[in-house]
Structure 1
Amino acid sequence: MSHWIEVAAEGDLFEGAAIAVAPQGLDIAVYKTEGGEVFATDNTCSHGQARLCDGYMEDYEIECPYHQGRFDIRTGEATLPPCVAPVKSYPVKLEDGKVWLEI
């Protein structure tokens, strides 16, 4: 059964960047687009042990800092090799200045 967990303050997020959060021991990247939308995926690249929050973000894609493969931050789908397996994505909501993830 899933439930919502507060993971950060909305002010912790910066447009065009990601931060790492660790609710319940999970390693999750939370992204804020240039347009202010917020998304979340697993923080570990499915191709190697790279942290996605350290990658380059453009529009709705995050680039793995090790091998330059990419993922769609909205769905977790791999969009550029060598990444082919998706990463898990999580529903996000902003409420009362806080970031919540459905785990």
Structure 2
Amino acid sequence: MSDWIRACALDDIDAEDVMRFDHDGQTFAIIRAPDDTVYVTDGLCTHERVHLADGLVMGHVIECPKHNGRFDYRNGKGLKAPICVDLKTYEAKVEDGDILFRLG
């Protein structure tokens, strides 16, 4: 049994966009970078637990829709106040046109 989780098809997300994905009681943000690389982070902002899928993706940054806190989604680093805690990121890949990630 594989430990990879299928999130969605690559074509379900436009370049420089984000999509919410819920799995096993947890929320994730599935992000497609401008160069079509995919990234997966926790889906809730670390500041006030707002869904990041409602935010804006610009280059390699995702902005929280509530207080405009920003993260580098490639490594989860908080970039702008009020963010004090970095975002958890997960290994992701595209295989046969699907976005997969794993929790480990």
TM-score range, shorter chain: over 0.9
> Quick one: which amino acid aligns to residue 81 of structure 2?
P
Separation in 2, partners of 1:17, 1:25:
23
| Number of the residue aligned with 1:72 | 72
Calculate the aligned-residue CA RMSD, in Å.
Answer: 1.3
Separation in 1, partners of 2:66, 2:23:
25
| Number of the residue aligned with 2:11 | 11
User: How far apart are 1:25 and its partner, in Å?
Assistant: 2.2
Alignment coverage as a number of residue pairs: 102
Secondary structure (helix, strand or coil) at the match of 2:40 reads strand
User: How far apart are 1:49 and its partner, in Å?
Assistant: 2.3
Whether 2:72 is the aligned partner of 1:33: answer no
Separation in 2, partners of 1:98, 1:23:
16
Separation in 1, partners of 2:21, 2:92:
13
> Quick one: which amino acid aligns to residue 69 of structure 2?
G
Question: After the TM superposition, which residues 1-103 of structure 1 pair with which residues of structure 2 at under 5 Å, given as runs?
Answer: 3-103=3-103
Structure 1 length as normaliser, TM-score?
0.93
Separation in 2, partners of 1:5, 1:84:
29
Secondary structure (helix, strand or coil) at the match of 2:31 reads strand
Bigger strand share: 2
4+ residue runs over 2 A deviation: none
Separation in 2, partners of 1:49, 1:7:
21
Identity of aligned residues (%): 32
Separation in 2, partners of 1:54, 1:75:
20
Secondary structure (helix, strand or coil) at the match of 1:22 reads strand
Is there any run of 5+ residues in structure 2 with no aligned partner, and where? none
